[in-house]
Amino acid sequence: MTAAPGPHEPDLASLEPEDLDGHTIDELSDYLDAGMVPADPTIDDSPACQNALAAIMRLRSASLGSLDEAAKAEAPADESWIGGVLANISLEVRAGRDIPLRAEAPTEHPVMTEGAVRSLVRRAGDSVPGVVVSRCLLDGDVTELASPVRVRVEIAVVAGHRIVPTADAVRLAVAEVLATQTDLTLAAVDVLVRDLITPTTADGVGTDEEAPR
């Protein structure tokens, strides 16, 4: 049974193409496969699509071997980690709530979207070697400046990478990017290792290597 989503956690059942300005993750993947030609302005000019494309490219370039081979090695299931990551990317880039930034003048009311912040978190986590961010959530009233916010980052770690130091590196990377590019008051960054990814060998068979802690 799938747990009900939290108060600020998107419901997978509510996923619609409007979350990506009329496109789907499959369409964006096909666009990448075609070398992004011919150019599609509805994708190229969409911040949500651009964030999703960047996340898909990082997922593809991670040390996972072929995504196709990894998908074949999985038992067919709705909760396939690859499908889950792609679904979460689509949900996370939605604009969501407006997050205020500190104004430099009384007449200014600068904001950035919740989707933009989640994309920052995902990008920071994905930058750590051996990591794919599965999901990121912002817990707290992000619409109030200085209100404490807790960030939860769920990750998959490629076998062979030490789990604790890798999770610590993700925590530091996320905290740094949020401190430098947002005005969130960060209460904590919680990193949860959800999956251990075993790279496929040339014959498509996964190794049995156990990740050191």
Q: What is the pTM of this model?
A: 0.70
Q: Which residues contact 61 (CB under 8 A, 6 or more apart)?
A: none
Confidence of residue 212 (pLDDT cuts 50, 70, 90): low
- Could you give the CA distance from residue 107 to residue 103 in angstroms, rounded to a whole number? 8
Judged by DSSP in three states, 29 sits in: helix
CA angle 190, 83, 137 (to 5 degrees): 25
Of the two residues 34 and 153, the one the predictor is more confident about is 153
DSSP structure string for 84-102: HHHHHHHHHTS--SEEE--
Indicate whether 25 pLDDT > 70.
yes
Task: Output the pLDDT for position 34.
Answer: 87
CATH 3.40.50.1000 fits 17-103+111-197, yes or no: no
Of the two residues 24 and 191, the one the predictor is more confident about is 191
For the chain, what is the mean pLDDT?
78
Percentage, residues of the chain above pLDDT 90: 36
